[in-house]
Structure 1
Amino acid sequence: MNVKTTITLPENYLRYAEKMVEEGVFPSVSSVVEAGLEKMMHDDQASDPLTGMADEIRRRMELPRDQWIPWDGDGIAGRVKEKLKAKYEK
């Protein structure tokens, strides 16, 4: 559902939006503003660490199995602990 509203933009923003419409990139100034808001909403989701982690896991799951890193449980945990210890002892 679209809702009509009125906004105030700095002149340089309005000129840029109008230029985008003139060049045929967007059909209207409203569409330019909508695209900017859509990008900000997407960027907020992308900056969420859990979303980023889920995306990375999905990406890695698509790799061929011969490229997977073997899981050796205690060995990995030990290496992580060593790296953290070294990092925080400096």
Structure 2
Amino acid sequence: MNVKTTVTLSDEDLRFAEELVEAGRFPSVSDVIGEGLSRLRLEESESDPVAGMADEIRRRMELPRDQFINMEDDDLFERVRKRLNSRPAR
């Protein structure tokens, strides 16, 4: 859902956004602003590992059920235990 709002830009920022539109890199100034926000959101999730993990979990939860990993058929936990047990003690 898109929401219309008003944003105040400096002359320099508006000029830059309009140049990007004129160059064909974006269809509108709104899209330039949206891309900037998307990049900031991505930057935030990359700097916060928990937020990044939450994003990944949400993405995986949107997958069809037949693409889920059946943990009964996966020995992941056993492999992790073996690996941890094989590490030298500190």
Q: In the alignment, which residue of structure 2 is the partner of 1:35?
A: 35
TM-score (norm 1): 0.59
Report the secondary structure of 2:5's partner residue.
coil
Q: In the alignment, which residue of structure 1 is the partner of 2:5?
A: 5
Q: Which runs of 5+ in 2 are unaligned?
A: 57-82
Does residue 46 (structure 1) correspond to residue 43 (structure 2)? The answer is no
Distance in 2, matches of 1:48 and 1:2, equals: 27
State the structure with more CA Rg: 1
Counterpart code for 1:18: E
TM-score (norm 2): 0.59
Q: 1:38-62 CA distances to partner (integer Å, 9 max, x unpaired)?
A: 000011001113448xx9xxxxxxx
Report the aligned-residue RMSD: 2.1
Q: In the alignment, which residue of structure 1 is the partner of 2:75?
A: none
**1:31, CA displacement in angstroms?**
0.2
Q: In the alignment, which residue of structure 2 is the partner of 1:58?
A: none
Counterpart code for 2:9: L
Q: Which runs of 5+ in 1 are unaligned?
A: 56-70, 79-90
